[in-house]
A and B are shown apart, each in its own frame.
Chain A
Amino acid sequence: MKNGFYIEKIVVDFIIPILVIILSSVIILLVYNRFNIGIININRKIVGKKINTLLTNVVFDEYSDTELENRLSNFKYIVPLHQYWCKDLIIKIIIDTKANLKGFDDSKLTQVYEKLELHKYTYKFMNSPFWFAKTKAIYQFQMLDYKKSTQDIKQYIQHKNKILRANALIAYLMLTKEDLSFLIDYKYELPAIEELKIVEICKARKLKRPLKLKEFLLSNNNFLIRLGLRLSSYYNALDLQDEIIFTLKNTDKKVRKLAYFAIEKLYLYQSESLLIEQYCNETRGNKRRIVFALGEIGSQESLSFFEKVLERQKDKTEAFFIIKAMLNIQDDFFEGKNISKDIELSIKHISEPLLK
């Protein structure tokens, strides 16, 4: 009973008051937050209209520098520029306007960004000790295409935080025309998503082939090898076939997978025998990639190999891809041959235009 009494006392004197305070605070915060959202939304609408009008005028009316200066001085008085939400809103609208203004000179928008001293606001995040604040700054610079920040961003490319360094690298590539070869000294491994982004940036920005692409393929950093293989496919690097074939001996299965992909895309016919040799020792996923590659570069040698594999192949999906590769090499290969119902259906599936 005594224990029960003490528990009751602790509950009544401490726990319940604490819980009541927490609950009341949460309710107040919920109401206050929603109330605030309502007010900010109204303000955002009003300020948003003013910013849009200003930016439209800046882009389409050709203001002189003094005229622009005057307009912006007036603008500073009609919007609450000291508020963070307002600064964020202006930056967001500048970013959106830039994205929608394909073919127009958007340098005026950068001027607006600077003259309203919003770059100082972004630099505040950049100089924050928190890595996630830096990613916000990097994001804003990148989306604003703010070239002056390039060197400030570059210093984070080798940062110990993996998200910050990945963001910094992508933003740097978006902002600079520097040859990608500088990556040869890169000491970290980045995930596949960053490799894809880098290739897409090269495509979108029409960047030149890195001078040290060969060194990428021979690097000790598997990230660079994988990136090198992706870039070799994109840049049609036929002169690097020996280096690409060399990567087939890599212990990382993802590297080998990309190597098979590059061989397929670049039609490296001379690697046919090597691929056939590697097939038996490969992972399931990589075996399929070899089949795809041989489907593109294969000859009679591949057909004979596939015939043997097909006989033993129990997996219907794998058999399907082998048949597809065989038909790719020789479209009448199965004609006049005694084939199973499964092979017959696979041929029909492959030949069906709606399933291509």
Chain B
Amino acid sequence: MAGYLLFYLFLAFSSYFAIKKDLNEKYELPPDVLLKSNNIVGISVVAPAFNESANIVLNVKSLLSLRYPKFEIVIVNDGSKDDTLEKLIKHYSLKKVPFSYDEKIKTKPVRGHYKSTNPIYSRLLVVDKENGGSKADASNAGINSCQYPIFVCTDVDCILKKDTLLKLVKPFLSESKRVIATGAGIRASNSCEVKEGSLKKVRFPREWYPRFQELEYVRAFLFGRMAWSNINGLMLVSGGLGMFEKKAFFEAGGYWHDSLGEDMELITRMRKMMHEKKEAFVIKYIPESLCWTEVPATKEVLIRQRARWSRGLAQTLWLHKDVFLNPKYGITGLVVFPYFFFFEFLVPILELLGLIVVLISFFVLEVNLSFLFWMTLTIYLFFQSTTLISILIDEYLYKNYNNLKEIFWLIAMSLIEPLFYHPVNTFAYLKGYWLFFRNKKSVWGDMQRKGFKTEEK
């Protein structure tokens, strides 16, 4: 237990230094100077869509309104069974065009490429393909079709801050080492006010599960990923928002079609490749929330999502087991990979075993109840502290919440999280491991979305 606590303390300090570094540099960029540059590197924004008919038009509009001098939006219609493509064709006046498609990463057949006849939407490219049964396949088709050397992978329903591209591309232009990927914080968009696909007002989620996830996201991004970013040990850049160097992406082989957690698996492979080439590289995280996405609102959908994540974790760890404690892979092999094994993969199993041992001990052994109580309380207080410190940092820096009531809600949610939310999460992870070891197939696009609260005109 001491080891776990000490490692978390180490992460806390690392995160503190990363955030401080970012804060110290906040006056670095004169705003708007680069927004007029025609020499700046171009960026492709790739967003796969599967049965997104309800919101696709507004989602694309939102992506097209990003502020950056040179970018394109590549929407991949992954064989939707609804009228996603028809709506895009109608609203954006799309026309099928002859396209020299270079299938650098093998995907399901691409049926065609579409461009708008309206010059206002000249940045939009729609790729229509047969359903490949995975987000990875759709993303690969989009990346095969995109024209710029850097691309962003996002979900079509994600709402990005207008200056997302400029913020994510900055490390690519300013780091002395080769930057292969960057990422930023993601937040829950449930209950946020959205107007025509753009975020109008950030609101604290009203439903219980999104509220717990809000806490979880802030903690994971500010406490975890920033810490790893500081020591260049990031092994996960979220599928919701990640910027990648196309060259490194192709060299690594792109998203793996059969992956259950394609984002983590891709970064692991990219890291391995760079270590094998003995080339210095950087994967950076920005402590600012740049993306809002709808998170599961019910227990059933949450369990399904988390079970998929945990299967992805187990699969990636198994697939790349040669990295484990292998000095050839530097920090990835000696620190990051073992961390994911001991701290991410094993923890749900240890929690279950711990519970079983405690229950059995009650009947078989003489349990020191006082000792058990104090140790449990210590862990509870420790994790409460880490969660609330993350919220404090977030509130202090970015002031994402509207009023005192929301802060009280966050504190209350944090206090009850270990009792109500954590067991559900642990169950989902264990279920995912079970499904992984039983080799069950998973499908993408199974998250039921409620859509946004759209402001009335």
Q: Which residue from chain B places its CB closest to the CB of A316 in the assembled complex?
A: B102
Whether B27 lies near A34 (C-beta < 8 A) is no
Q: Which residue from chain B places its CB closest to the CB of A15 in the assembled complex?
A: B378
* Contact with B100, one of A27, A201, A345 (Cβ below 8 angstroms): A345
Q: Give Cα A174 to B95, complex, Å.
A: 45
Whether B27 lies near A136 (C-beta < 8 A) is yes
Known contacts A22-B385, A199-B39, A352-B97; A191/B175 CB under 8 A: yes
Q: Which residue from chain B places its CB closest to the CB of A137 in the assembled complex?
A: B27
With a CB–CB cut-off of 8 A, which chain B residues contact A197?
30, 33-34
With a CB–CB cut-off of 8 A, which chain B residues contact A200?
33-34, 36-37
Size of the chain B interface, CB-CB below 8 angstroms: 56
* Contact with B381, one of A4, A12, A19, A194 (Cβ below 8 angstroms): A19
Choose, from A100-108, A162-170, A266-274, the stretch at the interface.
A162-170
With a CB–CB cut-off of 8 A, which chain B residues contact A26?
385, 388-389, 392
Q: Which residue from chain B places its CB closest to the CB of A320 in the assembled complex?
A: B100
B363 at the interface (CB under 8 A from A): no
Whether A34 lies near B34 (C-beta < 8 A) is no
Q: Give Cα A199 to B37, complex, Å.
A: 9
* Contact with A201, one of B33, B103, B377, B399 (Cβ below 8 angstroms): B33
* A159, chain B: closest CB distance, angstroms: 14
Whether B37 lies near A35 (C-beta < 8 A) is no
Whether B33 lies near A19 (C-beta < 8 A) is no
Chain B 103-121 interface 0/1 with A at a Cβ cutoff of 8 Å (1 = within): 1100000000001110000
B99 at the interface (CB under 8 A from A): yes
Whether B391 lies near A30 (C-beta < 8 A) is yes
Whether A31 lies near B404 (C-beta < 8 A) is yes
A16 at the interface (CB under 8 A from B): yes
* A141, chain B: closest CB distance, angstroms: 11
Size of the chain A interface, CB-CB below 8 angstroms: 61
Whether B404 lies near A34 (C-beta < 8 A) is yes
* Contact with B176, one of A20, A23, A191, A194 (Cβ below 8 angstroms): A191
A78 at the interface (CB under 8 A from B): no
Chain A 109-143 interface 0/1 with B at a Cβ cutoff of 8 Å (1 = within): 00000000000000000000001100110110011
Whether A16 lies near B374 (C-beta < 8 A) is yes
Whether A34 lies near B170 (C-beta < 8 A) is no
B371-417 residues at the A interface, CB under 8 angstroms: 371, 374-375, 377-378, 381-382, 384-385, 388-389, 391-392, 395-396, 399, 401, 403-404, 407-408, 410-411
With a CB–CB cut-off of 8 A, which chain B residues contact A236?
none
Q: Which residue from chain A places its CB closest to the CB of B391 in the assembled complex?
A: A30
* Contact with B392, one of A33, A37, A201, A346 (Cβ below 8 angstroms): A33
Known contacts A23-B385, A193-B34; A320/B28 CB under 8 A: no
* B12, chain A: closest CB distance, angstroms: 11
With a CB–CB cut-off of 8 A, which chain B residues contact A136?
27
* B33, chain A: closest CB distance, angstroms: 5
With a CB–CB cut-off of 8 A, which chain A residues contact B170?
193
A250 at the interface (CB under 8 A from B): no
With a CB–CB cut-off of 8 A, which chain B residues contact A131?
24
Q: Which residue from chain A places its CB closest to the CB of B382 in the assembled complex?
A: A19
Q: Give Cα A167 to B30, complex, Å.
A: 9
Whether B33 lies near A163 (C-beta < 8 A) is no
Whether A163 lies near B34 (C-beta < 8 A) is no
Chain A 1-22 interface 0/1 with B at a Cβ cutoff of 8 Å (1 = within): 0001001100110011001101
A354 at the interface (CB under 8 A from B): yes
Whether A349 lies near B28 (C-beta < 8 A) is no
B83-142 residues at the A interface, CB under 8 angstroms: 95, 97-100, 102-104, 115-117, 122
- Residue among B30, B97, B384 with max Cβ neighbours from chain A (10 Å): B30
Q: Give Cα A268 to B98, complex, Å.
A: 33
* A210, chain B: closest CB distance, angstroms: 18
B25 at the interface (CB under 8 A from A): yes
With a CB–CB cut-off of 8 A, which chain A residues contact B385?
19, 22-23, 26
Known contacts A138-B27, A320-B102; A196/B392 CB under 8 A: no
B35-78 residues at the A interface, CB under 8 angstroms: 36-37, 39-40
Q: Give Cα A44 to B408, complex, Å.
A: 24
Q: Which residue from chain B places its CB closest to the CB of A22 in the assembled complex?
A: B385
Whether A142 lies near B30 (C-beta < 8 A) is yes
Binding site for B on A (CB under 8 A): 4, 7-8, 11-12, 15-16, 19-20, 22-23, 26-27, 29-31, 33-35, 37-38, 131-132, 135-136, 138-139, 142-143, 163, 166-167, 170-171, 174, 191-194, 196-197, 199-201, 203-204, 230, 284-285, 315-317, 320, 342, 345-346, 348-349, 352, 354-355
- 18 A/B residue pairs, CB under 8 Å, sorted by A: A8-B368, A8-B371, A12-B374, A19-B378, A34-B401, A38-B404, A132-B27, A135-B25, A163-B25, A196-B39, A199-B37, A200-B36, A204-B33, A316-B103, A317-B102, A349-B99, A352-B98, A354-B97
Binding site for A on B (CB under 8 A): 23-25, 27-28, 30, 33-34, 36-37, 39-40, 95, 97-100, 102-104, 115-117, 122, 149, 170, 173-176, 247, 368, 370-371, 374-375, 377-378, 381-382, 384-385, 388-389, 391-392, 395-396, 399, 401, 403-404, 407-408, 410-411
Nearest first, the 10 closest Cβ-Cβ pairs linking A and B are A348-B98, A19-B381, A132-B24, A193-B173, A316-B102, A139-B27, A354-B115, A349-B100, A135-B27, A191-B174
